Structure 1
Amino acid sequence: MFTCNLTDETELRLLEIRHAEALYLLTTSSSAHLREWLPWVDHINHVADSRAFIESGLKQFTHQDGFHAGIWHRGQLAGVIGLHGIHWGNRSTSIGYWIGDRFEGKGLVTMATKALVHHCFDELNLERVEIRVATGNPRSQAIPKRLGFTEEGILRHAEYLYDHYVDHIVYSKLADEHQ
């Protein structure tokens, strides 16, 4: 199973079925905060919905096609980070992340993303890692910028978010840019 210690108080752990209730509670308690940028929030209505998400990540992990890891801080689930899928022919992936509102501002997502980028290049031997962020979400944009990703451009109307489309900025990092 995938685990990674970030600090004495913070770690990444592959989400498992036993984490479904914690994931559900974090998602629902942060739904107003998350809903601004994530189109799936309104579809999380029961613990079973969180369980299904975890099962999909475990299936990805089994097939070496990505995974979902919990960001655990001081023993509590604080957020989620993962690989949306791995394109082995191109040796590329994209990273997605979110954090519960009460855990914002602690640098947890930046630490988690940095660790996952290292995993992608050092363990999985990938060539390219991508992060896509809504143009109106500066907090999320700050993460790839801090980690030395290159801004490649804007995908117009890349995602339908409840009642409107949002544009995405595409950031990438290549293996030879990784330290």
Structure 2
Amino acid sequence: MLTLMVEPSLQLRQFDRSHASALFQVIQSNRNHLRLWISWIDGIHSQQDAEAYILRSLSGFAGRGEAHFGIWNGPALVGSVTVERLDEQNHSAEIGYWLAQSHTGKGIMTKAVRTLIDYLFMELRLHRIEIRCEKENRASQAVPLRLGFRLEGQLRQAYLKQGSYVDICIYGLLAADWSTIH
């Protein structure tokens, strides 16, 4: 499985079956915090559900369409960062992420996303990366802004969340932009 070093005590490790227990535990202990922004959290009710999620992500990786990484702070799983909708023809992808509430506000997500961006631009030779965030999720929007992404637009009522449609902001970053700011 792929591991990306963020710093000595912080790693991105591609999820595998052995991570199911840790994934379920971090979701379970952060369920109320995460469900504010992530609808699929309500589908994880057991360690078996977490394992099924991981197996689906591995299938997506095998199909070269996505990759799901756990964010490990020392021995503890504290969140996730994913590559979604990897488009080899157009050399683009989308990044998504979440973090345990006790680890927010410490710069962990910005460091994790920066490391993943380096990998996507340098190793996979992507041309473009997008991050989509709910309009109301200011903490999530701060990550792409800190990393030099540009707000490219807003999709009105684009996602159905808990029975209501919400607006989504789209942030984009080109490889050429990254090379000049990083």
Instruction: Give the TM-score normalised by the residue count of structure 1.
Output: 0.97
Equivalent in the alignment of 1:73: 73
How many residue pairs were aligned?
A: 179
Equivalent in the alignment of 1:99: 99
Q: Distance in 1 between matches of 2:41 and 2:34?
A: 7
Quick check: 1:178 aligned with 2:178? Answer: yes
Instruction: Give the TM-score normalised by the residue count of structure 2.
Output: 0.95
Instruction: State the percentage of identical aligned residues.
Output: 37
Query: Would the aligned equivalents of 1:5 and 1:11 in 2 still touch at CA under 8 Å?
Result: yes
Quick check: 1:34 aligned with 2:31? Answer: no
Give the secondary-structure state (helix, strand or coil) at the position aligned to 1:178.
helix
Q: Distance in 1 between matches of 2:91 and 2:8?
A: 32
Give the secondary-structure state (helix, strand or coil) at the position aligned to 2:169.
strand
Equivalent in the alignment of 1:141: 141
Equivalent in the alignment of 2:84: 84
Q: Distance in 2 between matches of 1:58 and 1:42?
A: 20
Amino acid paired to 1:8: P
Amino acid paired to 1:119: Y
1:163 Cα deviation from its structure 2 partner? 2.1
Q: Give the CA RMSD over aligned residues.
A: 0.9
Amino acid paired to 1:70: G
Structure 1 unmatched ranges of 5 or more: none
Equivalent in the alignment of 1:113: 113
Structure 2 unmatched ranges of 5 or more: none
Equivalent in the alignment of 1:25: 25
1:57 Cα deviation from its structure 2 partner? 1.5
Note the alpha carbon deviations across 1:61-106, whole angstroms, 9 max, x for none: 2222221000000210000111112111111100000001111112
Query: Would the aligned equivalents of 1:60 and 1:85 in 2 still touch at CA under 8 Å?
Result: no
